């Protein structure tokens, strides 16, 4: 069962959106171009009682989803549709409790900038934010934003060369970045914290489209969409055509799987709780998130919204769906009243 990208893959909180893509993992040590779109169906945690109670649930300020993923696949996060928001947007990302820009444990999803001193050793930076104690150059900030002139997506764990190491989904605990950095303090989820600029931004002037973003191929291997990395005129997101053609196989297709019907919710919940997958660092991708030219006071003090992404193997996600949705009164407050003819 194929569904449109908009219907299944977009996660939303207070008008801000994100999506997760899981393309094939890149190989080798050569510097790679961007992997294609490969959007994953996302489902609201609160709507499925078989979700583990330990998973984050939604609130007035947070949305919580779960997705099904496959070990061996790559992963990247897409925030580009927020470029049409009336405010500038910044996003702090947490991958299993690690900030993938700084490599530091995510104590809180706060915006941070690093201008003069290393935040770990409290020593003055040398040229280009090089910390002699760390032995590497620090990024200018711990977030990606629409103010840097760079596209709003992130494909992996940053290094200091304007590159990232692709996110790789793996069953090997020893290969997980968070497992190696913070051990038992890691979590098995991804988080996005969205911040708005205090003032609305000027009129939107362009749309950014990801290079080689459409995985659909025509005769001879040519791209059906033919989109490249470019700027488009202001107006409705020019990437809409791309989103609609990059259809995905929704996990909803498995709700009527005969092997899954009648599953015990507690058993499914326990299986999901124990289905631990790590996120490792794979091949190199050319990616620079730029430097925010603004100071921290340009941004609001608190995030406007949070999105939590709980990820489990595809078969476990299918079982959660098959166990059924919560019961809701179809007619709301009119339920039980005499209505209609």
Predicted local confidence at residue 261, as pLDDT: 52
Q: What is the pLDDT of residues 146-196, one digit of tens each?
A: 999 899 999 999 987 879 999 999 999 999 999 999 999 999 999 999 999
Predicted local confidence at residue 217, as pLDDT: 33
pLDDT at 198 over 90: yes
The burial class, CB within 10 Å (0-12 / 13-18 / 19+), for 295 is exposed
Q: What is the pLDDT of residues 291-324, one digit of tens each?
A: 999 999 999 999 999 999 999 999 999 999 999 8
pLDDT at 215 over 60: no
**What is the DSSP-derived secondary structure letter of residue 301?**
S
User: Are the CB atoms for 227 and 245 separated by under 8 Å?
Assistant: no
Torsional sign, CA 27, 28, 30, 31: positive
225 Cβ contact list (under 8 Å, min separation 6): 213, 214, 216, 241, 242, 245
Predicted local confidence at residue 8, as pLDDT: 74
pLDDT at 138 over 70: yes
pLDDT at 216 over 80: no
Predicted local confidence at residue 5, as pLDDT: 40
Report the C-alpha gap between 277 and 16 in whole angstroms: 27
pLDDT at 233 over 90: no
What length is written for the chain? 341
């Amino acid at each position: 069962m194929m569904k449109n990208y908009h219907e299944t893959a977009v996660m939303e909180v207070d008008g801000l959106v994100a999506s997760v893509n899981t393309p094939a993992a890149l190989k080798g040590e050569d510097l790679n171009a961007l992997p294609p779109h490969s959007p994953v169906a996302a489902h609201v945690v609160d709507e499925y009682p078989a979700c583990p109670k330990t998973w984050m649930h939604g609130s007035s300020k947070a949305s919580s989803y779960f997705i099904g993923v496959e070990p061996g696949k790559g992963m990247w996060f897409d925030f580009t549709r927020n470029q049409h928001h009336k405010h500038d947007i910044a996003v702090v990302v947490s991958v299993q409790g690690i900030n993938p820009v700084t490599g530091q444990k995510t104590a809180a999803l706060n915006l941070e900038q690093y201008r003069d001193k290393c935040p770990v050793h409290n020593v003055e930076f040398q040229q280009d934010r090089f910390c002699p104690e760390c032995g590497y150059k620090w990024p200018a900030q711990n977030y990606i934003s629409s103010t840097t002139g760079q596209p709003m997506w992130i494909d992996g764990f940053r290094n200091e060369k304007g590159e990232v190491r692709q996110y790789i989904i793996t069953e090997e605990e020893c290969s997980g970045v968070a497992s190696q950095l913070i051990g038992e303090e890691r979590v098995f989820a991804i988080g996005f914290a969205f911040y708005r600029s205090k003032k609305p931004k000027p009129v939107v002037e362009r749309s950014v489209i990801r290079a080689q973003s459409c995985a659909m191929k025509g005769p001879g291997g040519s791209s059906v969409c033919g989109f490249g990395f470019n700027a488009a005129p202001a107006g409705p997101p020019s990437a809409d055509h791309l989103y609609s053609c990059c259809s995905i196989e929704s996990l909803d297709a498995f709700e009527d799987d005969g092997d899954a019907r009648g599953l015990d919710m507690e058993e499914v919940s326990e299986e999901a709780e124990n289905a631990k997958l790590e996120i490792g660092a794979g091949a190199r991708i050319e990616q620079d998130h730029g430097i925010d030219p603004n100071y921290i006071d340009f941004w609001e003090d608190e995030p406007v919204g949070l999105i939590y992404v709980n990820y489990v193997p595809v078969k476990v996600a299918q079982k959660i769906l098959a166990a059924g949705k919560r019961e809701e009164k179809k007619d709301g407050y009119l339920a039980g009243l005499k209505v209609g003819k």
